[in-house]
Amino acid sequence: MTRMLAGLTALVLLLAGCSGTPEAGGPIKLTVATFGEFGYEKLFDDYEKAHPGITVEGRVADFETHHRQLATGLGAGRGSADVVAIEEQYLPKFRQSTDKFSDLSEFGAQGLREHWPAWKWDQGTAEGGKYVMGLGTDMGSLALCYRRDLFANAGLPTERDQVAALWPTWEKFAETGERFSSKAPDDVKFADSAGTVYTAMLNQAQENYFSKDDKFIADTNPNVRKAFELAGGMALKKETAAVTTFTQPWTVAIKQSRFAAITCPAWMLTQIQEAGGPELAGKWDVTSVPGKAGNWGGSFLTVPKQGAHRKEAYDLAVWLTAPEQQKRIFLESGLLPSALGAYQDSAVLSHTSPYFSGAPIGKIFAASAEALRPNYRGLRDGEVRPVYGHALGRVEEGKQSLEQAWNQAATEGRAAAAN
């Protein structure tokens, strides 16, 4: 009897060890957590068809909630999805908890490094590149979206090349804002907000709030001061609509044609189109941004250690970030690929947008990506960055002078960096 029980126990343990793997016929459920829509839903269906026994479920939350939930799940040791997206500004913070994430090198990720530009690959690594924390999804190379009809009404050129020639530098961009404002109605502003101008300028600098040794330098960095003063100066001249990106007032301002230009990464085109609706189709266009390059956003897929199926999760992350899938996502959802084989693909480069007046958006955003220089994100970047955005908001609202807003931001920024 004892031998029989021992045998049964061994059999149960064996079956338990085999359960949950497709090879053994047991189902595996993988969850993928993202902020906003990554264009994955159709891909999940295709992955399931190609991998019998695996089901994939997406979890979508807003930007801040998503990253807060990840931090909570990591701290609790449970609750995180099998595959989790992390936006670039949060990477430095989560990189301090590499013990909570799988080193994707153990699954063979080092062999994938040639799929991405060196700067994008390096962003997703730690320990001098030995530890692979995440695989790159999209990137947010910059362009400039503008309203052809509103430019024409203000006596400005409307063709892409002519518009780009207006602003080889940000100083010229500000001058164009003055020209526009001198002819436009009082309720139609040149740009949506000082914040988007400031962000675009700052994202062209290799260092902004923190030096590469992670010291807070925002209050002494001329790159930050220049961007703050130029964007704030446009706000003081009432050349911005003073609407915060992606808020309801911003959506309404687009719908009501209350501003004519916005610095736009590739992923923002969908939001502009959804806000404007069909009645604004063909009125928007896209051209190059002052300075020709820059990056705003971009994410990585990571695999938390707490998952029960880490190898399967890694395989899914590899498939989702492969050039073929990244290309498809761009063509269907507008998220610019970060994989070299995708954003240099002829189908991407030749892609145009009917909504944005037939603009060759694939070519425009890929050119911006080729020219960009990555900027360093400090450990406390996510805490410091909003401080300066709020300061510009106070200038737009007329609550503070530019100098008062700068001094308060410098004090609050240094405090946030120290916490």
**One fold for 17-139+297-336 and 140-296+348-418:** yes
Summarize pLDDT for 341-361 with one digit per residue, the tens: 999 999 999 999 999 999 999
Does position 6 have pLDDT exceeding 80, yes or no? no
pLDDT at residue 257, as a whole number: 98
**Taking Cα atoms as reference points, which of 378, 352, 304 lies closest to residue 30?**
304
Query: In the predicted model, what is the mean pLDDT of the chain?
Result: 92
Alpha carbon distance, N-terminus to C-terminus of the chain: 64
CA distances from 28 to 19, 24, 182, 213, 314 (A): 9, 11, 62, 42, 13
Interatomic CA distance for residues 391 and 404, integer angstroms = 9
pLDDT at residue 283, as a whole number: 98
The CB density around residue 419, as the number of other CB atoms within 10 Å, is: 7
Does position 13 have pLDDT exceeding 80, yes or no? no
Does position 3 have pLDDT exceeding 70, yes or no? no
Sequence-distant (≥ 6) Cβ neighbours of residue 77 within 8 angstroms:
306
Q: Which CATH architecture has domain 17-139+297-336?
A: 3-Layer(aba) Sandwich (3.40)
Does position 16 have pLDDT exceeding 70, yes or no? no
pLDDT at residue 23, as a whole number: 47
pLDDT at residue 295, as a whole number: 87
Summarize pLDDT for 279-337 with one digit per residue, the tens: 999 999 999 999 988 889 899 999 999 999 999 999 999 999 999 999 999 999 999 99
The answer to whether the beta carbons of residues 284 and 257 sit under 8 Å apart is no
Q: Assign 25 a pLDDT band (cuts: 50, 70, 90).
A: low
Secondary-structure class of domain 140-296+348-418 per CATH: alpha beta
Q: Which two tokens stand for residue 238?
A: 């009432």
Q: What is the 3-state secondary structure (H, E, C) of 293-362?
A: CCEEEEEEEECECCCCCHHHHHHHHHHHHCHHHHHHHHHHHCCCECCHHHHCCHHHHCCCECCCCCECHH
pLDDT at residue 379, as a whole number: 87
| Residue bearing the bigger pLDDT, 119 or 84 | 84
pLDDT at residue 10, as a whole number: 37
β-bridge partners, 131: 126
Summarize pLDDT for 381-397 with one digit per residue, the tens: 889 999 999 999 999 99
pLDDT at residue 278, as a whole number: 97
Amino acid sitting at position 356: F
Domain limits, the chain:
17-139+297-336, 140-296+348-418
Average pLDDT of span 151-160: 98
Does position 219 have pLDDT exceeding 60, yes or no? yes
* Percentage of the chain exceeding pLDDT 90: 84
Summarize pLDDT for 222-261 with one digit per residue, the tens: 999 999 999 999 999 999 999 999 999 999 999 999 999 9
